[in-house]
Amino acid sequence: MKRLFRLSFSLALFILCTAFAQTVAVVTPYLAQPGTQFMVEAFEAAAKAKGWTVNVIDTAGDVAAVISRIEDVVTQGVDAIVINVDPAQVAAGLASAADANIPVFGMDAGTDAMLVTNVTSNGYAMATETSSYVVDRIGGAGRVVMFVFDAYPPVQKRGVVADAIFGNYPDIEIVDRITPDVSDGGIADSRAKMEAVLAANPDAGSISAVWAAWDQPALGALQAIEDAGRGAEGIVIVGIDANPQALDAIRAGGNFEASVSQDFNGIGSTTADLVERYLGGETITQATVYVPTTLVTGANVGDFVSQ
């Protein structure tokens, strides 16, 4: 009991001391995911440099709790809120923030009219990087297998760009445009699909490249190609996201040659900068702010080991 009051007194003092600096709440259900962790840590570091108080709230996968926690920090009267969750699912929370005139920023969240802006990577640009890489590696001619997922808008964007770039080369033929079953994580089914494609195209050189809209199908295709004993045919595989498994594969120097790394640290610190600009009175006109991504190949894969 006594201890409770002592704790409350010290907390009250603490709150009094920090009452005059900017207070920003970061709310996400996904803090356990590495990408989110990098973003949040970079945001916290940037905010600390600006002298803000940051309250990071993780609801451990519970999206309704994100709404509740947004309502709580609105009641608390924070200066700004940053979310890392699909804005459409937390519209009730965004509405309560709007009622109280508290700005909400998306950090890799999705574009929404109720957000000041959303900071993320450009899916079109990432797909441009890997499709151009494939075109250059096969000299603008050859047979390409594509792995896409048009049901999920952020990945659908990538496929559209690859279609356009490959379509611009009359000597590039799309052997198959495969949508893998992702319920098992995407690797196993992509591998099975790739095995079928290899069986249907048994001649060495009949497949020039595999373009995958994200890393899992690329890894599945890599397994299929290696297990079929066709690793030496020079089939070029590319993915997107540069997940740790993909980085390992690129480092190993086999068929998996390239992927794209999102700059999660950059997304975090850029979000902090945008919050600062907005609170400083600037109008943010872009509904989405893109942070540049980096093509990862054998040449620079060493730079990405730590991520």
Partner 1 sequence: MTRLGRLTRRFGTLLGFLIVILFFWFNLPDTFMTARNLLNISQQVSMLAVVAFSMTIVMVMNDFDLSVGSMASLAGIVAALLFSQGSSVFLGVSAALAVGLLGGLINGVLVSLVGILPFVATLGTLTIFSGLAFFVSGGKTIFGRDIPAAFSGFARAGLPLGTLNERPLLLPNLTLVALIVLFLVWLTLEHTTFGRRLYAIGGNREASRLAGVRVRLLRLLAFVLTGLGAALAGLMYASRVASANPTQGAGLMLDAIAAVFLGMTMSEEGEPHVLATLVGVLILGVLDNGLTQMQVDSYVREMLMGGIIVAAVASSSLGKQS
Say if residue 80 is exposed, middle or buried (CB neighbours under 10 Å; 0-12, 13-18, 19+).
buried
Indicate whether 65 belongs to the interface with partner 1 (CB under 8 A). yes
Q: Which one of the spans 8-16, 132-140, 206-214, 228-236 is the region binding partner 1 (CB under 8 A)?
A: 8-16
Indicate whether 59 belongs to the interface with partner 1 (CB under 8 A). yes
Q: Which one of the spans 35-43, 74-82, 136-144, 154-162 is the region binding partner 1 (CB under 8 A)?
A: 74-82
Indicate whether 56 belongs to the interface with partner 1 (CB under 8 A). yes
Q: Of 63, 28, 67, whose CA–CA distance to 44 is shortest?
A: 28
Indicate whether 88 belongs to the interface with partner 1 (CB under 8 A). yes
Question: Residue 138, CB half-sphere, CA atoms under 13 Å: how many?
Answer: 31
Indicate whether 200 belongs to the interface with partner 1 (CB under 8 A). no
Q: How far is CA 187 from the centre of its chain?
A: 18
Buried/exposed code over 3-17 (b: 16+ C-beta within 10 A; e: otherwise): eeeeeeeeeeeeeee
Indicate whether 113 belongs to the interface with partner 1 (CB under 8 A). no
Q: Which of 170, 183, 281, 283 binds partner 1 (CB under 8 A)?
A: 183
What are the beta bridge partners of residue 260?
A: 295
Q: How far is CA 119 from the centre of its chain?
A: 11
Q: Of 60, 307, 299, whose CA–CA distance to 68 is shortest?
A: 60
Q: Of 215, 237, 240, whose CA–CA distance to 225 is shortest?
A: 237
Indicate whether 294 belongs to the interface with partner 1 (CB under 8 A). no
Measured from the CB atom, is 19 or 141 closer to partner 1? 19
Indicate whether 86 belongs to the interface with partner 1 (CB under 8 A). yes
Measured from the CB atom, is 168 or 288 closer to partner 1? 288
Are 230 and 238 within 8 A, CB to CB?
Answer: no
Indicate whether 92 belongs to the interface with partner 1 (CB under 8 A). yes
Indicate whether 1 belongs to the interface with partner 1 (CB under 8 A). yes
Are 164 and 155 within 8 A, CB to CB?
Answer: no
Strand segments, DSSP code E, in the chain are: 23-28, 53-58, 80-83, 104-107, 118-120, 142-147, 172-178, 209-212, 236-238, 256-261, 288-290, 294-296
The CA distance from 216 to 237, in Å, is 12
Q: Which of 6, 34, 75, 292 binds partner 1 (CB under 8 A)?
A: 75
**Least distance to partner 1, CB of residue 283, Å:** 24
Q: Which one of the spans 85-93, 207-215, 247-255, 287-295 is the region binding partner 1 (CB under 8 A)?
A: 85-93
Q: Which of 47, 82, 90, 97 binds partner 1 (CB under 8 A)?
A: 90
Site string for partner 1, 151-170 (x = CB under 8 A): x-------------------
Residues contributing to the site for partner 1 (CB under 8 A): 1, 4, 8, 11-12, 15, 23, 31, 53, 55-65, 67-69, 71-73, 75-77, 86, 88-92, 95-96, 99-100, 151, 182-183
